[in-house]
Amino acid sequence: MKLTSLLAGAGMFVCAVSAATAQDLPFLKNADHGKGPFKIGFSNGFIGNAWRAQHVDGVEKTAAELKAAGVLSDVIVVNSTSGASGQISQINALLAQGIDALVINPVSAEPLMPIVQRAIDSGVLVVVADNPLPMDNVLNVSLDHSQYWGISTEWLVDAIGGKGDIVAIEGLAGNTANDWRVRARDEVLARHPDVRLLASVTGGWDQAQAREAMSGLLAAHGDKIDGVLIQEVMNEGVIRAYRAAGVSRPPLTGDYVLSYLKLWKNDPDLRTVAVANPPGVGSDAVRIAAEILSGRDLDTDKLVPNPLNPSFNNTILIPEPYVVEREANTSRPWCSEQVQCISLDEAIALLDGRSDADSLDKTLTQDEVRTLYFR
């Protein structure tokens, strides 16, 4: 069974619709900003965990590279710590500084759409990183969140033998990526009627919140829980909740941060998996924006339908690069040239010399961006 059949119901778009020309694509109407160098504003809607810190760090490193090459004059990076209202204020400030392109990772879709439209109306190219917007006049550069929680859910179903009761801990309520993942999870579970979702709660992509949420689930369900489905960042908090409760730990989906991989390596009884959701997508989005501003011809055959509104053909999906198990299992249906199935030892080696807070990552070079997405 191929990944296309495994996760087709989870909203994956694995092939592009019919080719479009540049004239058909509303998001390219603001592509021409002269010869450059260009000024880009990067608006990050949430900065509350290590993933986001690495996400922003990658953007800043890419910005420095492109400035040194003379492609960009400046990249102004702003991070919201006060939700949608803070991000809206910061985007207004970016627009006042005369940016040529706005790269935005929105904290949520609906509240940000009016300010994004204002940016477009003022002549700014808008590229959306990671969390897509249901608009036809932006280019979404998103990780494939259907893959992320679709693969995780399929793994957990298999780990509990296709039958049993599970609980789930979601990320940030109202966040587009989180909602997209929940849809993928629910559609996978719909194909496995013998697996029952007892409860799904929010952990806010925060260890402390996740520990508290898991403690509540254990108080309600105890050892009746056969498996735990968790998004990244929160997994060690869940394990701490199990230790504190003195309840036997079932299979659970894991994290791809080095601290978790080390914990896993040192705990032979931990049954888990890690699907890497690379923070480097922000860097990829900045590189793609720079290529468009520089006048390169986007390969429209690489575009796929918008995950939130499939009538718009304006999305580049970045695949999840690694699925980690204790021993590499390349016979899994999700393994492919783009989605590498690797061992725990291989994953730890990829993070050699990095901080325990760093995540498995994969970013594109400027040459790779040109080869993959431009003619």
Same domain, 86 and 181: no
Return the CATH number at 171: 3.40.50.2300
* Number of Cβ atoms within 10 Å of the Cβ of 36: 15
Q: What pLDDT does 85 receive?
A: 94
> Could you say which of 255, 270, 297 is where a domain stops?
255
> Could you say which of 221, 255, 289 is where a domain stops?
255
Same domain, 109 and 205: no
Q: Examine residue 182 and state whether it is found in any structural domain, yes or no.
A: yes
Apex 244 CA angle, 224 and 267, nearest 5: 85
Q: Examine residue 51 and state whether it is found in any structural domain, yes or no.
A: yes
Q: Examine residue 19 and state whether it is found in any structural domain, yes or no.
A: yes
Domain residues for the domain of 163 are 145-255
Q: What pLDDT does 23 receive?
A: 53
Q: What pLDDT does 295 receive?
A: 94
Same domain, 38 and 118: yes
Same domain, 93 and 224: no
- Could you tell me whether strands 315-318 and 139-143 are parallel, antiparallel, or unpaired per DSSP bridges? parallel
Same domain, 137 and 152: no
Same domain, 20 and 139: yes
Q: What pLDDT does 176 receive?
A: 85
Judge whether 140 and 176 are in contact, CB under 8 Å.
no
Q: In what order do the strands lie in the sheet with 101-105?
A: 72-79, 38-44, 101-105, 125-129, 139-143, 315-318
Same domain, 170 and 137: no
User: Exposed (0-12), middle (13-18) or buried (19+): which is 81, by Cβ within 10 Å?
Assistant: exposed
Low-confidence ranges of the chain (pLDDT < 70): 1-23
Interacting residues of 13 by C-beta distance below 8 A, sequence separation 6+: 304, 305, 307, 310, 315, 317
Per residue in 30-69, pLDDT tens?
998 888 899 999 999 988 788 999 999 999 999 999 999 9
Q: Examine residue 265 and state whether it is found in any structural domain, yes or no.
A: no
Q: Examine residue 332 and state whether it is found in any structural domain, yes or no.
A: no
CA distance 151 to 7: 8
Q: What pLDDT does 13 receive?
A: 39
Judge whether 211 and 237 are in contact, CB under 8 Å.
yes
Domain count along the chain: 2
Same domain, 7 and 137: yes
Same domain, 25 and 111: yes
Q: Examine residue 192 and state whether it is found in any structural domain, yes or no.
A: yes
Same domain, 14 and 61: yes
Same domain, 115 and 234: no
Q: What pLDDT does 47 receive?
A: 87
Same domain, 9 and 155: no
Q: Examine residue 102 and state whether it is found in any structural domain, yes or no.
A: yes
pTM for the model stands at 0.86
Q: Examine residue 164 and state whether it is found in any structural domain, yes or no.
A: yes
